Amino acid sequence: MIQRFPWLSCILSILLSTALCQSAYAIDLDEATLTVPLNTSGKTTVLTPEQVKRGKRLFNNTCSQCHNGGITKTNPNIGLDPEGLSLATPPRDNIEGLIDYMKNPTSYDGAESIAELHPSIKSAEIFPKMRNLTDDDLFTIAGHILIQPKVVLEKWGGGKIYY
C-alpha cells in the first residue's frame, strides 16, 4: 500500500515525529520554579503549567504595553523585579499583594490611590482591558509576574540594558 501511495508514508512520518517531539516545544518548569509566595505570612503555592501559560497570555494582553520585560515605562525606577516588589508598601512580592494592587493600586509608599492612573479593576471604566478579568485571571497574572525572575533571571525588570 505504501508503494501505491508514497505520499501516505510521508504524511505518516510527519505525524509520528510531531507526536513524539511535541514536548520539545514547551519549556518544562520544575516545582521550585512554579512555587511562588502566596502572602506575607510565608505561605506558598505551586502554579500549574496551565496557570503559567494563561498568566503569560493575560499579562501580555493586559499589562505588557507598560510592563514589557518587567519594567515600568512610566517610572523606570520601579520595576516588577522581586526587590522592587518587596520594597513597596504594602509589599507586592506575593500573589495576594499583587492581586490587591491590580484591584486597587496605590502609590509605591501606599499613601494614595492611583486607580485613575494605573489600570485596575477599580478603574475598569477607564481601562477596558481590566473589565472582564476574574480573580482567577488576576491570580495567574500575579503568578506570571512572580515566576519570571526565576525563568529569565536578571532580565526581568532589568530595563534598557536588556530590552
Residue given cell 504594602 in the structure block: 90
Whether residue 144 is annotated as binding a ligand: the answer is no
Q: Quick check: bond before 90 cis, omega within 30?
A: yes
Whether residue 21 is annotated as binding a ligand: the answer is no
User: Cα torsion for 107, 76, 64, 37, to the nearest 10°?
Assistant: -60
Task: Give me the residues paired with residue 44 across strands.
Answer: 37
Backbone φ, ψ for residue 31 (5° rounding)? -65, -35
C-alpha cell at 72: 515600568
Whether residue 118 is annotated as binding a ligand: the answer is yes
Residue numbers in the known binding site for heme c are 63, 66-67, 118
Residues making up the annotated binding site are 63, 66-67, 118
